[in-house]
Amino acid sequence: MTIWALPIAILITTTILAFPLSRYLAWIMDGKYRAPRALRWFEDRLNSGTQDWKLYVGSMLVFNTLLFIFGFLVLALQPLMPLNGDGKGMLAPSTIFHSVVSFMTNTDLQHYSGDQHLSNFSQIFFGLSNFFLSASIGFCGLVAIIRAFRSDTHLGNFFVDMWRVVVYMFLPIAFILGIVFVQQGSPMTFESSVQVSTLERGAMGTTEKGEPKQQSVVVGPLAAFVPMKQLGTNGGGFFGMNSAHPFENPTALTNFLSCVAMMLFPFGLVLMFGRMLKRLRHSYVIFSVMMVLMIGTVIWAVYYDALQPNPGLTSHPLAQTYEVPSATAPGGKRVVPVPAVAGLPVDQHLGNLEGKEMRFGTSAGATFAALTVDVTDGAVNAEHDSLNPIAALSPMVGMWLNCIFGGKGVGMINMLLYMIIGIFVAGMMVGRTPEYLGKKIGGREAKLALIALLVHPLMILFPTGFFAATDWGLKAESNPGAHGFSQIAYQFSSASANNGSAFDGLGVTNGFANNPAPAPEAVPWDIVTGIVIIVSRFLPIIAPIAMAAYLGAKKSAPFGLGTLRDDTATFGFLLLGTVLIIGALLFLPVAALGPLAEHLGPIPFGG
Amino acid sequence: MSKSIAKSLWLLLFAVVLCCVVYPLALWAIGQSVFPFQANGSIVKGQDGAPVGSLLIAQPFTKDEYFQPRPSAASYNGAASSSSALAASNYALRNRVATTLGPIVRYKDGSNAGKLVAPDIERWFQQDRFQGNPSIVLQWADAHNSLAQAWVAADTTHAGYVTDWTKSHVSVVAQFVKANPGTPQPQPSDLAVVFFETFSRENPGKFPSAVTHTDSAGKSTTAIEPVNGGTDIQSTFFDMWRTDHADVPLQDLPGDMLTTSGSGLDPHITLQNAEYQLDRVAAKWAADTKRDAPDVRAEIGKLLNEKAFAPFNGIAGEKLINVLEVNLQLRNRYGAPS
């Protein structure tokens, strides 16, 4: 029972908090809040007047370009900047490109390790600034769509919206969480590292001079960094191992709060959608569909990971041999023996503990793994590479569907696309004009929705196939067989879903520019995932805004007997079916070649 | 356009000042003034006042007087957190666990209950039969090419031993080159499998291992030699011994003792793991302090129970022990280990 207590508590707490939050969000975004004079000065400075959808999107792109330049400068100038106690150098140029793109788009896929490669200055001015701003951009995208749906005379002003999201929403909550995190044990200092002699002198080994080695403990402004990492569903770790690191996630309480923080806004945004459109019941239906999917992914991950042993250590009594084609082996065939193995004497009643931390609770690793991809956070508190093979399907499905609450605004936008397609298909099937919010969905809207929706599978399947067939992928894999393929598929899924979690064994780290031994294929990985991230971020924001603008410009049809009601359980099932059929079927072959094949064995695979 | 650029610059400026300067500085002021211990990394000091470690970061312990943390894929490097990233289907994971288990695993019941399995692994190894076929080492190298190669690469003395072997086995090397025209000048690691195959035929029941000899002048030298016992054999061949003895009941070891954590710096172990180590720890301190073993064991057991805590008071997980905290207490109570 203790297994399920944690995920249940997380889901219930966040749901309860999402209701008042959504009211607050709608109040702010509808401009009903009158800021005090001092704060209004900032809004006046930023206000460039009312914008139509083209101007709004244009401003968004201009600001993103500026953010890219700023991030690039901060990282490229790292060696010259202050707060660099350990004298960190400059990252390889391709890694800088990848990191900047990744952080600017709320993806936070990291091809570097923060503890090894970034100074505190970069962590703050590159990481933290993007945490706030990239999350706000997706948020504003959703708000623009809502206003367009409402047929507002204009979409508001992008810069004012951004400012309000950052100042009235993220900052206060992050600040409160930050105090809790520092109290619980997250460091809050601008020092880079602390040198400690170990309790048992020399346990770390001895230096060349024969003196006992010290342990170097990297510290930094964690308590400011982590709450916003979670609140903004960014997920870029201060340390290489992200929220598994004891400073980034010191206790069971911080782990609980990390989960709630990353889910809070995605939950609240769905309800805000209903409030702003004055169709709260409609958003309850959407919320329920997302919740069903989320509960499914959590149960799947927890059942197969925390309640099942690691199959690598259990008994597999059947010896097998496989023949695989090989160009170098005599006869053109290589024989791969798979010996029978007996169970090792390991007490696995806590489930698969490889890559898990102890302090969060038994089911915390698997729960976090499911939640972090559902809301496209991408922080991890356990090593996803070491999840039980079949359990790893849960995070992958979360990224493939990409609409189970999803990231700041973007998840809700994706769900809207599924909704438009679902209504369009259902309308075609019953021979009735498809309508959403009383507006007729025409060919143009359906095309825009489809473009935005199909970018995702294209951006995952093509590069995965290409990398899996060439040295770019094969030389980066760190695990054999089907799991190696899963590593490649996971990386592109994570990039395209703007998620940021990874199977960390994949060799994609280039390190510093002067690193004599980078991962052999790091540069193509940096560049291709970078491109995937950009395309999968901007097309699914811009196309839906255009679609919503076209839809909003249409005349509202009166509500009649033939109207497909969007606030009923029937509509919920229609939506669920659309998501599962379109979203999941597209990726079934990948699932079969990756996690399913690995699960079916042989385990262990090869020697 | 120019308007957008100007407004973008203002937005970036405001946001950076607020989010990257004001916000962290405010938290820094609160952290440093109200929670200075946590804000600086939860650093604890030893008896001489020097910092010995962070309560949140695992550090290694080699002496038997101390409780051991979980194994670390990061070698306990507090500046480079890392997980093993080994998939369940990767034999390297199973091999890592099996090699740890070999020397320490014990029988569960019967007349052998509580006894180490290790001596029986050596006896079984010396008979040199696995699954009814001769030559254990040969079968091991054939089934696990990468482990054979890893052995050669693990140490320069290993590679040196193989290089010496090539000089006395010119015909074997020549045959290898003929079968593998792609590698005309094979390196020691290329020859690993062939080396072990030949070695196994020439030294049945033996495995190359480091042996230290002390000559009459008191000078000790270490060299690789064929041996028929020792921890190398106990660890390397435990998995195969287990396959030959799949039905023998063995004592299960705590899972967290054998698995690496996500960060490689997990400061905790389960209470179950600590209690498993308790006999060893207590016996060692009793010997060091020349006291009665049961008394010391009771004292340390009490300490463990005092220090144990569970996530959310047990609602979310099992009881845990902070390794450094407990070891620091032991050090303060019993003095320096001998």
At residue A194, does pLDDT exceed 70? yes
Of all residues in chain A, the one with the smallest CA distance to B83 is: A355
Kindly determine whether residue B83 and residue A223, on different chains, have CB atoms separated by under 8 Å: no
The gap between the terminal CA atoms of chain B, to the nearest Å, is: 75
pLDDT at A324: 79
Question: CA A583, CA A404: separation in Å to the nearest integer?
Answer: 11
At residue A593, does pLDDT exceed 90? yes
Instruction: Calculate what percentage of chain B has a pLDDT beyond 70.
Output: 100
Q: Rounded to a whole number, what is the largest CA-CA distance in chain A? A: 87
Question: CA A239, CA A74: separation in Å to the nearest integer?
Answer: 18
> Quick one: pLDDT band at residue A360, thresholds 50, 70, 90?
very high
Cis previous bond, A602, omega within 30: yes
Kindly determine whether residue B179 and residue A339, on different chains, have CB atoms separated by under 8 Å: no
Closest by CA position to A28, among listed A136, A180, A188 = A136
What's the rounded mean pLDDT across residues A586-594?
93
Sorted by sequence, the CB contacts under 8 Å of residue B291 that are 6+ apart come out as B285
| C-alpha dist (Å) from residue A147 to A152, A214, A273 | 6, 58, 10
At residue A331, does pLDDT exceed 80? no
SS3 B194: helix
Sorted by sequence, the CB contacts under 8 Å of residue A238 that are 6+ apart come out as A114, A115, A123, A127, A220, A222, A225, A226, A229, A245, A247, A248
pLDDT digits (tens, 9 = 90+) for A380-397: 999 999 999 999 999 999
Question: CA A273, CA A142: separation in Å to the nearest integer?
Answer: 8
pLDDT at B320: 96
A215: distance to nearest CA of chain B, Å? Answer: 6
Whole-number mean pLDDT of chain B? 92
Q: Contacts of residue A163 in chain B, CB cutoff 8 Å?
A: 11, 14-15
Q: Per the structure block, which two tokens stand in for A188? A: 């809050």
pLDDT digits (tens, 9 = 90+) for B282-336: 999 999 999 999 999 999 999 999 999 999 988 889 999 999 999 999 999 999 9
pLDDT digits (tens, 9 = 90+) for A504-524: 999 999 999 998 889 989 999
At residue A607, does pLDDT exceed 70? no
Is B271 near chain A, with CB under 8 Å?
A: no
What's the rounded mean pLDDT across residues B252-265?
96
Handedness of CA A487, A492, A495, A496 (dihedral sign): negative
Whole-number mean pLDDT of chain A? 92
Sorted by sequence, the CB contacts under 8 Å of residue B31 that are 6+ apart come out as A182, A187, A188, A189, A223, B38, B39
Sorted by sequence, the CB contacts under 8 Å of residue A483 that are 6+ apart come out as A385, A389, A594, A598, A605, B87, B89, B90
pLDDT digits (tens, 9 = 90+) for B153-165: 988 899 999 999 9
Is A452 near chain B, with CB under 8 Å?
A: no
Of all residues in chain B, the one with the smallest CA distance to A357 is: B261
pLDDT digits (tens, 9 = 90+) for A121-169: 999 999 999 999 999 999 999 999 999 999 888 999 999 999 999 999 9
Size of interface A-B (CB pairs under 8 A): 428
pLDDT digits (tens, 9 = 90+) for A261-271: 999 999 999 99
At residue A231, does pLDDT exceed 90? yes
Enter the ipTM.
0.93
pLDDT digits (tens, 9 = 90+) for B174-203: 999 988 888 888 888 889 999 999 999 999
pLDDT digits (tens, 9 = 90+) for B269-284: 999 999 999 999 999 9
Is A436 near chain B, with CB under 8 Å?
A: no
pLDDT digits (tens, 9 = 90+) for B72-118: 999 999 999 999 999 999 999 999 999 999 999 999 988 888 899 99
What's the rounded mean pLDDT across residues A195-221?
91
What's the rounded mean pLDDT across residues B241-256?
93
Mutate to test the interface with A, among B2, B3, B5, B7 (most CBs of A within 10 A): B7
Kindly determine whether residue A347 and residue B239, on different chains, have CB atoms separated by under 8 Å: no
Structural contact between residues B227 and B205, judged by C-beta atoms closer than 8 angstroms:
no
A224, A356, A504 ranked by CB distance to B85: nearest: A504
Is A13 near chain B, with CB under 8 Å?
A: no
> Quick one: pLDDT band at residue A2, thresholds 50, 70, 90?
confident
A174, A504, A606 ranked by CB distance to B91: nearest: A606
Pairing of β A435-436 and β B268-270: unpaired
What's the rounded mean pLDDT across residues A354-369?
95
At residue B242, does pLDDT exceed 90? yes
Q: Under the phi-then-psi rule, with left for phi > 0, alpha for psi from -120 to 50, and beta for the rest, what region is A569?
A: alpha
